[in-house]
Structure 1
Amino acid sequence: MQLQRKIAGLVLMLGLLAYQPAQASADDAQAELKAGMAAAKDGKPEAAAPLFRKACQLGSAEGCYQIALQLDFGDGQPKDEAAAAGFYRKACDGGELRGCQNLAVDYELGIGVDRDYAKAAALYTQACDGKVAKGCTGLGYLNEVGRGVPKDAKAAVALYQRGCDAGDPAGCTSLGWLYDDGIGLSKDHKKAAQLYRQGCEGNDARGCYNLGIMHGEGDGVGKDIDESLTLYRKACKLNYADACYTLATTYDFGKGVEKDESEAAVFYRKGCDLDEAKSCFNLGWDYDNGVGVPRNAKMAFDLYLKACEAGDPKGCYSVGSAYERGVVVGENKSKALTYYRKALTLDPSDEDRPKIERAIERLKG
């Protein structure tokens, strides 16, 4: 009996010894995380980074998530999307479901990892089941388009609803789109407008933009050009490139407002900064012709080139024309032909195609 008590006592003592380092490690991880969050809050991301890393090493899933965010966005350390994905994985494996959500986005878009829709769907499911609203919205989109899971519009409706109800504005906007287009349920423009507004009020730019279109056309809501412009402005401010372009063309051509080419140029600039190809081309044309901005051939060429690189056939044609004529850049028929040919591959309009084809034939001859 005495021997048994000794053995029992030894087992208990060993258990306590094992528990104490584990508890200390957890306490240390929490201390490192707390110090990192304080440094980040004070605007010192460089100081926060090693603290988050240490917290992650000590087993803090949130520490792994925070260092992943820093690596993902280049905040306090060099941007490294592959490393960020690795830390999102550690966070997810440790039970931080926001890590699962962000890793799902990486797999969906091929950011830092090879694109894999099936893995994205599995991770979105994990996040959604854990009440991460964006996970439900992300999984809803995969169901809507049939990537990584079978295409299922009704499942998309249910998942967008879950995302919206759980507080994700993008979920509300996405559900609004299904009502707007009658996908998976009966078309209902009034319901779509309500959901777009809900999304917009949560600063989902696409919600603001879509509601702006509805007010501009009087579709599901009263026609109100001023409200439409207000919504486009908010969406543009939230970096929605299509809204910036729409605002620009509204002022450029005086569609329901007084024509203002200078104001148009401002919004073309914002759209171009967001890599919206048509905005870059139109702003280039403005500089080429001194419309709304001072004439500047070099600026025009640079904008045409950016438009071309973003996939705009008019931009490529204009770059080709500059090389053919030797405007701003040295005359170079070979480069001109290259850009004309590129323009032709970018599905130009029926109006522009003959002009491009003539330019190619001219230089080939």
Structure 2
Amino acid sequence: MTARCANDDADGCAQLAVLYDDGDGAAQDHVRAAPLFARACYLGDMASCNMAGLAHGTGIGAEESSKIAASYYSLACSGGDATGCSNLGLAYVNGDGVSVHDAYAASLFDRACAAGSRAGCANLGAAYSLGRGVRRNQQRAADLFEQACNRGDQHACYNLGVLYRDGLGLRRDEKRAASLFEQSCGADDSSACGNLAAMTDDGRGQPRNQQRALELYEQACTLGKAESCFTLSKAYQTGKGRGRDNRRAIALMERALELDPENASSAHVIKALRRARVAEATDRAARSE
């Protein structure tokens, strides 16, 4: 592969880049992989253009630059790489290296989805669900989420579950929603775990099971779902389903604030945290007497 790449063989450079990027057959070395992806890109391998964009977008192995990343995604998309089109669409949604342009982003997602990109279908579904760049259409969103879910995009499965749970664009089906959340939670989707926990706690779409719900809140919190950390903290604070443990409750509230300090409910968490600290100080004083 090294000799082929030196002789300007795009496939040789791409294969060598993947070898270093994955660490499969050689020591993992992102710094060596990134320029090889760039070389393969300019030699005509469009998938490598997308990979070079990811390197610059994340700053892993290359200079972190959303502008450079977007230029590589654009090359990839122009050359027919569906994933590159989807990633370029996300850049236009978020204004990463380009100006925000929701309508153009939606057209890129449509192009990516039509070319077989599950991420493209999932992102187009989100555009229709939110009405960003296209007229809001929950039924169309559901169809796209289902396409992406069937292709293995677990967050699309979660989004489809939300539509089933809320009856948006299709008939409400809480059992189906819970099943989709279970599937996505198994793939470590924090939102799916949190929503499944709430449904399990309420007995929606499945039998009520408080212990299972608390286990799911714990999983969602570990995965980074701030709301689940706070919900779990209340179980430790009250002793409902968990042994009463103010210290553990305080730690969970602090994690919730650390994960999402700008959340609309953060003021409520802060008040609860103050009360928990007062209760812990009172308990400590009582224990020392």
> 1:291 and 1:79 mapped to 2: Cα distance?
45
Structure 2 residue 132 is matched with structure 1 residue 171: no
Residue 81 in structure 1 maps to residue 81 in structure 2: no
Alignment CA distance shift 1:290-1:88 (3 Å): farther
Whole-angstrom CA distance in 2 between matches of 1:26 and 1:159 = 43
1:212 equivalent in structure 2? 197
Per the normalisation by structure 2, the TM-score is 0.84
Contact 1:244 1:268 in 2 (8 A): yes
Question: What's the CA shift for 1:181?
Answer: 0.7
Q: State how 1:194-205 maps to structure 2 within 5 Å.
A: 194-205=179-190
Corresponding position of 2:113: 128
Q: 1:291-332 deviations in whole A, cap 9, x for unaligned?
A: 48xx9xxxxxxxxxxxxxxxxxxxxxxxxxxxxxxxxxxxxx
Q: Map 1:291-306 to 2 at 5 A.
A: 291=280
Structure 2 gaps, min length 5:
285-289
Q: Work out whether residues 136 and 159 of structure 1, in 8 Å CA contact, stay in contact via their aligned partners in 2.
A: yes
Structure with more relative contact order (C-alpha pairs < 8 Å, separation 6 or more): 2
Counterpart of 2:18 in structure 1 is 37
Matched, 1:188 2:181: no
Residues 299-338 of structure 1: pairs in structure 2 closer than 5 A: none
After TM superposition, give the deviation of residue 283 of structure 1 in Å: 8.9
Aligned to 1:254: 239
CA contact (8 A) 2:89 2:109 kept: yes
Q: Alpha carbon RMSD of aligned pairs, Å?
A: 2.7
Partner of 1:354 in structure 2? none
- Aligned pairs (5 A) from 1:136-175: 136-175=121-160
Contact 2:200 2:213 (C-alpha < 8 Å) held by counterparts: yes
Count of paired positions: 271
The answer for the alignment partner of 1:337 in structure 2 is: none
CA shift at 1:112, angstroms? 2.5
CA–CA distance in structure 2, aligned partners of residues 78 and 27 of structure 1: 24
Matched with 1:241 is: 226
Would the aligned equivalents of 2:253 and 2:273 in 1 still touch at CA under 8 Å? no
Query: How many Å apart are 1:261 and its aligned residue?
Result: 2.0
Give the whole-Å Cα distance in 2 for the aligned partners of 1:290 and 1:81. 47
- Could you list the per-position Cα deviations for residues 194-251 of structure 1 after superposition, in whole angstroms to 9, with x for gaps in the alignment? 1111222232221111111001111111111221122222222322232223223332
Aligned to 2:270: 281
- 1:286 Cα deviation from its structure 2 partner: 7.5
Cα separation, 2, equivalents of 1:251 and 1:244 = 11
Amino acid paired to 2:86: Q
The CA deviation at 1:255 is 4.1
- In structure 2, relative to structure 1, the CA distance for the partners of 1:260 and 1:67 (3 Å cut) is same
> In the TM superposition, what is the alpha-carbon distance from 1:176 to its structure 2 partner?
1.0
Are residues 282 and 47 of structure 1, via their aligned partners in 2, closer, same or farther at CA, if it must alter by over 3 Å?
Answer: farther
In the alignment, which of 119, 138, 148 is matched to residue 104 of structure 2?
119
User: Residues 81, 283 of structure 1: CA spacing in aligned structure 2 closer, same or farther, 3 A cutoff?
Assistant: farther
1:252, 1:106 → 2: CA distance? 42
Q: Which residue in 1 is equivalent to 2:287?
A: none
CA distance in 2, matches of 1:34, 1:283: 54
Q: Distance in 1 between matches of 2:271 and 2:30?
A: 39
Match runs of 1:88-107 below 5 Å? 88-107=73-92
Report SS of the residue matched to 1:221: coil
Distance (whole Å) between structure 2 residues aligned to residue 45 and residue 175 of structure 1: 35
Q: From 52, 55, 64, give the equivalent of 1:70.
A: 55
- What's the CA shift for 1:183? 0.8
Structure 1: which 5+ runs fail to align? 1-22, 296-365
> Structure 1 CA distance, aligned partners of 2:7 and 2:74?
20
Greater Rg over alpha carbons, structure: 1
Distance 2:55 2:235 in 1: 39
Distance 1:219 1:152 in 2: 26
For 2:201 and 2:89, locate their aligned partners in 1 and report how far apart those are by CA, in whole Å: 36
Normalising by structure 1, we get a TM-score of: 0.67
Offset of 1:45 from its aligned partner? Answer: 1.0
Q: 1:47 to 1:27 in 2, by over 3 A?
A: closer
Q: CA deviation at 1:193?
A: 0.8
Aligned equivalents of 2:55, 2:253: Cα separation in 1 = 31
Moved more, 25-34 or 276-285: 276-285
